[in-house]
Amino acid sequence: MLEQASKATTTMSLKKGLQRRWRLGEKFIESWIFLAGVLTIVVLLGIIALLLKEGLPIFLDTPPWEFFFGTKWYPVSEPPTFGIMPFFVATLWVTLVATAISVPIGVACAAYLAEVAPAKVRETVKPIIEILAGIPSVVMGFIGLMLLSPLVQSAFNLNTGLSGLTAGVMLSLMSLPIIISVSEDALRAVPSDFRQAAYALGATKWETIRHVSIPGALSGVTAAIMLGVGRAIGETMTVLMVAGGALAVPVSPTEPMMPMTAAIASGIGNAVRGGLQYQALFAIGLILFVVTLAVNLIADRVLERQKRKFSR
């Protein structure tokens, strides 16, 4: 009896000790995760503060109106002029071309993978698409420079193949994997009862995709497109290499142009800390940040709505 009782107490104390140790470990991990979460917020706030601190003073020298709508960018002249209209329009063109190419292909590819392709095909193709996302942007720029730009030049009979169009095509290749991957997930999240019901009503495969699956996943597909657009706006190395870098406000995508990211990258090395050009480049960075943030926020909202729709 006594023996049994003492045995019971030892197991009890052992259990308690284990529990305490386990609890300590949990506390440790808990605070580590908490800190990691806080760190990202701190870094984000720090970046915003830095962009504001370094970028806003330019408006003391160049009024916002002239900065946004000025068409002349001569940072190393005396006196310098800062007008970012050419860069802003260039970013619009390049993003437009990239979206126009990547959205139809991306959504179609996602529909194929989610609805048509046999499991074996999907399991081979999807990882390959995800590898495409991992190609470094400088490699994409190099391919654009060596292969695509001569092709674009002869196909459209241009003066030079270094143009917004070339950059847009390369960017579309880079945002394709995001669009395909996220829209495929959205399409597969549409409950299969919907499809079964459509088939039961005698709908063909195409009619089911067109009228049931894609409308059902529309918010997810929209979010995928927004994420792809965000990638295209923020991409730097590729556009720096293949967009041509002319300072005119581009009136057509076939002209050489310099998007905002390329303008920052090509000017920042030359800018003395705290100088006017430095401030102007930070202000461009601020604008770029606000634009991509808005795009990502919209994408997030839409994705959230998609999730709520099917969480019955």
Q: Provide the residue type at 67 as one letter.
A: F
Nearest of 215, 219, 220, 216 to residue 185 by alpha carbon: 220
Question: Within a 13 Å sphere around the CA of 273, how many CA atoms are in the beta-carbon half?
Answer: 1
**Span near another protein by CB under 8 A; candidates 97-105, 153-161, 167-175, 204-212:** 153-161
Least distance CB 246 / another protein (angstroms): 5
Give yes or no for residue 271 binding another protein (CB under 8 A): yes
Give yes or no for residue 256 binding another protein (CB under 8 A): yes
**Span near another protein by CB under 8 A; candidates 10-18, 55-63, 109-117, 259-267:** 259-267
Structure tokens at 132: 């495409």
For another protein, the binding residue among 95, 153, 172, 175 (CB under 8 A) is 153
For another protein, the binding residue among 32, 69, 156, 206 (CB under 8 A) is 32
Residue 157 gets which letter from DSSP? Answer: T
Could you tell me where the beta strands, DSSP code E, fall in 172-243?
none
Residue window 131-150: x/- pattern of binding to another protein, with contact defined by CB under 8 A? --------------x----x
Start-to-end CA distance of the chain, whole Å, equals 56
Give yes or no for residue 258 binding another protein (CB under 8 A): yes
For another protein, the binding residue among 57, 70, 234, 245 (CB under 8 A) is 245
DSSP string computed for 2-64: HHHHHHHHHHHHHHHHHHHHHHHHHHHHHHHHHHHHHHHHHHHHHHHHHHHHHHTTHHHHS-H
Q: What is the Cα–Cα distance from 38 to 42, expressed in whole angstroms?
A: 6
Whether the Cβ atoms of residue 94 and residue 171 lie closer than 8 Å to each other: yes
> Which residue, 7 or 27, has its beta carbon nearer to another protein?
27
Least distance CB 212 / another protein (angstroms): 49
Characterize the bridge pairing of strands 81-82 and 73-74: antiparallel
> Which residue, 53 or 308, has its beta carbon nearer to another protein?
53
Give yes or no for residue 120 binding another protein (CB under 8 A): no
- Count of residues of this chain found to bind another protein when the rule CB under 8 A is applied: 41
Give yes or no for residue 206 binding another protein (CB under 8 A): no
The residues of the shown chain that bind another protein, judged by CB under 8 A, are 27-28, 30-32, 34-35, 39, 71-72, 74-77, 86, 145, 150, 153, 159-162, 240-241, 244-249, 256, 258, 265-267, 269-273, 275
